[in-house]
Amino acid sequence: MFVSSNRNKYKEVNSVLFSGGIVVEYHNMQILEMQSNSLKQIAEEKSKAAYSKLSRPVLVEDDGLFIDYLNGFPGQYSAYVYKTIGNSGILKLLEGVLVRCASFISVFAFYDGKSPYCFLGKTHGRISTAIRKGGWGFDGIFIPDRCDSTFGELHQLKKKELFSHRTKALDKFKKWYLTN
């Protein structure tokens, strides 16, 4: 069961896992996140919290946008930063900056009541100079390497999965899950 309060994430998760023959249910739940500099630690704790409420195996995700020029900010605080300053705030922080390297990192944690298993995916890219349409969250400003389109534009073309940090992490999970 995938546990999140973000239905958009579930759509991506379901698409990737279903293509591998894994059917995943969605449970809409707000999970209190611990404060940590580690996405892995946050994901592990979220998986344990979700399991304790549902008493069944769960899959959760924590992710972040890490901008090199801003020393990794917003990183693990990405959801909060998006809610408070959004894409326009990030672009304002990068005004006049020519090298706009960034990465999206995703960590999925699967917990079955025994021990958490984590799977990491990372996509390198850059921040655009303007907000483009499509997708959700920071999708409108993130351009993956070897691409001229933002995640948002790729989402509209149904090609985001070809570059997605979530897909990379979920492919690792899928391989592990199907062999265990």
**What is the set of active-site residues?**
62
Distance CA 164, CA 46 (A): 22
**Residues facing residue 121 across a β-bridge:** 106
Beta-carbon contacts of residue 180 (< 8 Å; ≥ 6 apart): none
Distance CA 161, CA 12 (A): 8
Is residue 66 a contact partner of residue 123, using CB atoms and an 8 Å limit? no
Which residues share a beta bridge with 66?
74, 103
